[in-house]
């Protein structure tokens, strides 16, 4: 199983997306390889602070997926910018418990998209996390190497090799 | 990954503190008031030759004894609550091995107790779980026998009579294979065994989890039982899992501590040094590996006579970068008379300012004339006369000097003690020489080694005494402390001097031997006086510190 685990599962997820489609506001932008997918996410409705914006969510799947959580970031390039949100750093890193200690192997790529979409939908104020600049300056390229904390209502980053980040949930 | 563990650690400590709050006085803390639950297992108590009021007793445990302790507790709970062994184990781990609290809460509300520990049917947010087993009180934990699929409710496939697709790896299982190749716990979330194995191995190996590994289903808090893990994962992962469980047990038990020395696998058990006693006890213990450690804080050597909290403060202060910067800054000083900046680059502490010819002591900055032959006046940072000196120096510099005064003496003894191997080597050479030229037998020259032992032991105590003095408030008691400190310091230096003496002829050996033996006995005596008085002083609440302890 070990090597084939992620492939078979991702094939299944892909075929589900192709046959059943994705929820409104979410679409698969590219799945060029089995390990690297990009979804486009927009928040629907008039109420949202992100009206008219579209964000690109990138997922990189390791071969232990779905036992292990994929690496999930918002794209930050000339075409797409990460949403301005208190849990999203300007380099696209996301602090969300579902991508950390609350990850479960029964969750899937679309479930992550839905969580991200609702995280954006519930936001009322466009602002970056506290300490954004400091984090972005020194963050590891893989957000999974950042040690996120989800228990506090203050965003806080410790400057260590591993970053300790506390963000309200 | 999360801060859960930290929070729980805090909670554990609180619970233990509460448990210890029952007895308030020192007199209560002996083996009778804090019953030794594991007495049946204790082979012998290592006791100091004569027991002093500040001495504690402890036992050195093997890993097997630690395992037995857990099994004994598990068995007890198993029969008291009439639950399977693995349920008892999960409950005990959840209640941090506080079996009284567990029993109280269990009898109060069994469902809540089981649910809290991750044992009852889940309230999973997943929509897949529909029905829950009825009446968890009656049969709260039917053990899912690991070789057979759990008899409780299933989620997607109703029974092993239907084909099954693992929701994780999407592998299909024919109805005949479901029973053998898939597994669900009491919560009913079924997955294939390969996925379970991958998941559990990752938790144990990758994340070092043990007691709180939960079901793979999103949001399901069902804890995976020991026998399930043992059955599914490979034997080396299973071994690691049990090691982690044992480590967690030791970490959760305030009366247990791993010996911190490398490659030592013993565990110290001590019931007389709970955290709240550490403001008056310095629980130095000796492991069977031959090394000393502090039971209170895990320091890998004796830090007597200094309290754990003071040691921690001191180490932090010394490690602090700002102090290092200060230290560098402090390598230059101003002449107390003409303010010329002077850098000391060697030589003794008797300084003569090149500019104004003022003679002063580099260490205390006092006039050298006051020192004269009485060098040891300088072990005491006399704050009153220091005030005068400070008139001419910046205030920050004065507190820095105070720190450096103690730090330098501390570091000096630390450094000397580190050279003990060299000291032994040199002494051994001398002992050989004495055997050859002085016609002394091997046994007759052992006095020299004993003297080196005494010097090294006293130096370590002296080292810590300077840390202690730094935090002591200035009062009469502190003066007595520093008198004792000075006496020991003097005695050690004279003994050190004698041990450095060259052996000239046979006649001098006899005299040297006599002198060293006497001086070593004196050092030992001064050492015991300082130690005894200081440790007793805590119990008599004689010491006042400039910081909160």
How high is the pLDDT of residue A107? 94
Tell me, yes or no, whether B418 and B294 share the same domain: no
A&B contacts, CB < 8 Å: 66
Is the predicted pLDDT of residue B136 greater than 50, yes or no? Answer: no
Mean pLDDT, residues B318-335 taken together? 62
Is the predicted pLDDT of residue B4 greater than 50, yes or no? Answer: no
Tell me, yes or no, whether B430 and B518 share the same domain: yes
Scanning B82-215, the segments in alpha helix (DSSP H) are 85-94, 99-108, 110-116, 175-181, 193-201
Name the residue among A8, A104, A149 with its Cβ closest to that of B169.
Answer: A8
To the nearest whole angstrom, how far is the Cα of B108 from the nearest Cα of chain A? 30
Tell me, yes or no, whether B175 and B216 share the same domain: yes
Given B202, B233, B264, which residue is the final one in a domain?
Answer: B233
Residue B249 in any domain: the answer is no
Is the predicted pLDDT of residue B334 greater than 80, yes or no? Answer: no
Reported as a pLDDT band with limits 50, 70 and 90, residue B330 is low
How many domains is chain B partitioned into structurally?
4
How high is the pLDDT of residue B384? 58
Reported as a pLDDT band with limits 50, 70 and 90, residue B327 is low
CB B2 within 8 A of CB A100: yes
Please tell me if residue A66 touches chain B, with a CB cutoff of 8 Å. Answer: yes
Tell me, yes or no, whether B71 and B57 share the same domain: no
Tell me, yes or no, whether B416 and B439 share the same domain: yes
Tell me, yes or no, whether B356 and B403 share the same domain: yes
Prediction ipTM score: 0.82
* SS3 label, residue B30: coil
A80-99 pLDDT, tens per residue? Answer: 999 999 999 999 999 888 99
Kindly give the parts of chain A with pLDDT less than 50: 1-2, 151-169
Tell me, yes or no, whether B104 and B179 share the same domain: no
Distance (Å) of CA A133 to CA A80, A97, B224? 19, 22, 41
Place of tokens 């049969």: B139
Q: Which of A85-94, B20-29, B137-146 has the highest mean pLDDT?
A: A85-94
Tell me, yes or no, whether B19 and B57 share the same domain: yes
In chain B, what percentage of residues exceed pLDDT 70? 73
In this complex, do B199 and A105 lie within 8 Å of one another by their Cβ atoms?
yes
Reported as a pLDDT band with limits 50, 70 and 90, residue B352 is confident
* SS3 label, residue B272: coil
How high is the pLDDT of residue A155? 35
Residue B268 in any domain: the answer is yes
How high is the pLDDT of residue A136? 87
Residue B547 in any domain: the answer is no
Which of the following is catalytic: B259, B264, B348, B361? Answer: B348
Mean pLDDT, residues B344-362 taken together? 70
What is the C-alpha separation between B127 and B140, in angstroms, rounded?
Answer: 23
Is the predicted pLDDT of residue B336 greater than 50, yes or no? Answer: yes
Nearest residue in A to B196, CA atom = A67
How high is the pLDDT of residue A110? 96
Tell me, yes or no, whether B423 and B523 share the same domain: yes
Mean pLDDT, residues B135-154 taken together? 38
CB A43 within 8 A of CB A121: yes
Mean pLDDT, residues B493-514 taken together? 84
Tell me, yes or no, whether B266 and B187 share the same domain: no
**How is residue B338 written in tokens?**
């003409």
Of residues B38 and B17, more confidence is placed in: B38
Please tell me if residue A147 touches chain B, with a CB cutoff of 8 Å. Answer: yes
How high is the pLDDT of residue B283? 94
Tell me, yes or no, whether B261 and B397 share the same domain: no
Residue B127 in any domain: the answer is no
How high is the pLDDT of residue B361? 74
Nearest residue in B to A162, CA atom = B1
CB B371 within 8 A of CB B361: yes
Q: Beta strand pairing status for A71-74 and A55-60?
A: antiparallel
Mean pLDDT, residues B455-471 taken together? 93
Mean pLDDT, residues B74-86 taken together? 93
B414-441 pLDDT, tens per residue? Answer: 888 788 888 889 889 888 888 887 778 8
Domain that holds residue B193: 164-233
To the nearest whole angstrom, how far is the Cα of B216 from the nearest Cα of chain A? 6
The CATH number assigned to the domain holding B499 equals 1.20.120.1750
How high is the pLDDT of residue B311? 93
Any bridge partners for residue B360, and if so which? B351, B367
What is the C-alpha separation between A64 and B102, in angstroms, rounded?
Answer: 38
Is the predicted pLDDT of residue B197 greater than 80, yes or no? Answer: yes
The 10 Å Cβ neighbour count of residue A88 is: 26
Reported as a pLDDT band with limits 50, 70 and 90, residue B79 is very high
Given B302, B325, B358, which residue is the final one in a domain?
Answer: B302
In this complex, do A67 and B7 lie within 8 Å of one another by their Cβ atoms?
no
Reported as a pLDDT band with limits 50, 70 and 90, residue B349 is low
Reported as a pLDDT band with limits 50, 70 and 90, residue B332 is low
Residue B486 in any domain: the answer is yes
Name the residue among A64, A100, A106 with its Cβ closest to that of B198.
Answer: A64
Domains and CATH numbers, chain A: 4-128 (3.10.110.10)
The CATH number assigned to the domain holding B207 equals 3.30.40.10
B356 annotated active-site: no
The residues near B102 (Cβ < 8 Å, ≥ 6 apart) are B77, B91, B92, B94, B95, B113
Tell me, yes or no, whether B383 and B449 share the same domain: yes
What is the C-alpha separation between B481 and B469, in angstroms, rounded?
Answer: 8
Contacts of A156 in chain B (CB under 8 A): none
Is the predicted pLDDT of residue B150 greater than 50, yes or no? Answer: no
To the nearest whole angstrom, how far is the Cα of A44 from the nearest Cα of chain B? 25
Is the predicted pLDDT of residue B46 greater than 70, yes or no? Answer: no
In this complex, do B216 and A104 lie within 8 Å of one another by their Cβ atoms?
yes
Is the predicted pLDDT of residue B31 greater than 50, yes or no? Answer: no
Q: What is the pTM of this model?
A: 0.69
How high is the pLDDT of residue B533? 94
B203-218 pLDDT, tens per residue? Answer: 999 888 899 899 999 9
């Amino acid at each position: 199983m070990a090597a084939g685990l992620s492939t078979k599962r991702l094939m299944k997820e892909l075929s589900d997306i192709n046959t059943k489609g994705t929820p409104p506001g979410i679409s698969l932008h590219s799945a060029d390889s089995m390990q690297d997918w990009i979804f486009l996410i927009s928040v629907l409705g008039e109420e949202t602070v992100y009206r008219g914006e579209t964000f690109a969510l990138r997922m990189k799947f390791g071969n232990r997926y779905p036992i292990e959580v994929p690496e999930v970031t918002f794209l930050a390039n000339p075409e797409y910018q990460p949403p301005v949100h208190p849990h999203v750093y300007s380099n696209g890193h996301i602090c969300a418990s579902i991508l950390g200690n609350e990850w479960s192997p029964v969750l899937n790529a679309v479930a992550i998209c839905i969580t991200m979409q609702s995280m954006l939908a519930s936001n009322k104020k466009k602002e970056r996390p506290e300490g954004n600049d400091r984090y972005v300056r020194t963050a590891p390229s893989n957000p999974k190497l950042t040690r996120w904390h989800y228990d506090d209502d203050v965003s806080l980053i410790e400057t260590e090799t591993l970053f300790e980040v506390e963000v309200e949930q | 990954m999360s801060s859960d563990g930290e929070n729980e650690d805090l909670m554990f400590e609180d619970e233990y503190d509460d448990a210890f709050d029952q007895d308030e006085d020192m007199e209560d803390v002996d083996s009778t008031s804090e019953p030794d639950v594991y007495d049946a297992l204790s082979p012998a108590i290592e006791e100091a030759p004569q027991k002093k009021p500040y001495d504690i007793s402890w036992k050195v445990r093997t890993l097997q004894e630690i395992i037995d302790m857990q099994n004994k507790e598990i068995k007890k709970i198993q029969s008291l609550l009439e639950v399977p062994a693995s349920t008892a184990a999960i409950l005990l781990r959840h209640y941090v091995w506080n079996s009284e609290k567990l029993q109280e809460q269990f009898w109060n509300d069994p469902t809540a107790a089981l649910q809290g520990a991750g044992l009852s049917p889940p309230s999973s947010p997943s929509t897949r779980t529909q029905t829950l087993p009825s009446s968890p009180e009656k049969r709260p934990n039917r053990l899912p026998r690991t070789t057979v699929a759990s008899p409780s409710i299933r989620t997607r496939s109703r029974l092993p009579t239907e084909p099954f697709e693992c929701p994780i790896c999407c592998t299909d299982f024919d109805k005949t294979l479901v029973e053998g190749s898939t597994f669900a716990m009491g919560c009913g979330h079924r997955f294939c065994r390969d996925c379970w194995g991958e998941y559990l191995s990752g938790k144990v190996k990758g994340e070092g989890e043990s007691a709180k590994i939960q079901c793979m289903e999103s949001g399901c808090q069902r804890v995976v039982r020991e026998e399930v893990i043992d059955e599914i994962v490979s034997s080396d992962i299973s071994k690691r899992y049990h090691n982690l469980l044992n480590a967690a047990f030791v970490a959760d038990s305030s009366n247990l501590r791993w010996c911190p020395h490398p490659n030592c696998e013993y565990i110290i058990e001590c019931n007389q040094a709970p955290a709240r006693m550490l403001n008056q006890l310095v629980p130095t213990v000796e492991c069977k590996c031959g090394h000393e450690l502090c039971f209170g804080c895990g320091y890998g050597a004796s830090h007597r006579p200094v309290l754990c909290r003071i040691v921690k403060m001191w180490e932090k202060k010394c490690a602090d970068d700002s102090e290092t910067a200060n230290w560098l800054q402090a390598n230059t000083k101003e002449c107390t008379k003409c303010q010329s900046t002077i850098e000391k680059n060697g030589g003794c502490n008797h300084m003569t300012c090149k500019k104004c010819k003022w003679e002063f002591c580099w260490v205390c900055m006092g006039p050298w004339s006051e020192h004269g032959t009485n060098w040891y006046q300088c072990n005491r940072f006399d704050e009153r006369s220091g005030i005068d000196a400070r008139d001419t120096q910046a205030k920050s510099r004065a507190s820095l000097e105070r720190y450096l005064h103690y730090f330098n003496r501390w570091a000096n003894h630390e450094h000397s003690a580190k050279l003990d191997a060299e000291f032994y080597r040199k002494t051994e050479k001398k002992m050989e020489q004495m055997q050859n030229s002085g016609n002394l037998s091997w046994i007759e020259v052992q006095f020299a080694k004993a003297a080196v032992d005494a010097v090294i032991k006293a130096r370590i105590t002296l080292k810590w005494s300077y840390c202690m003095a730094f935090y002591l408030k200035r009062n009469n008691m502190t003066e007595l402390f520093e008198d004792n400190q000075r006496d020991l310091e003097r005695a050690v230096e004279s003994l050190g001097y004698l041990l450095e003496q060259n052996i000239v002829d046979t006649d001098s050996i006899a005299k040297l031997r006599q002198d060293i033996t006497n001086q070593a006995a004196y050092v030992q005596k001064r050492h015991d006086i300082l130690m005894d008085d200081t440790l007793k002083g805590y119990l008599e609440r004689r010491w006042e510190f400039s910081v909160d302890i």
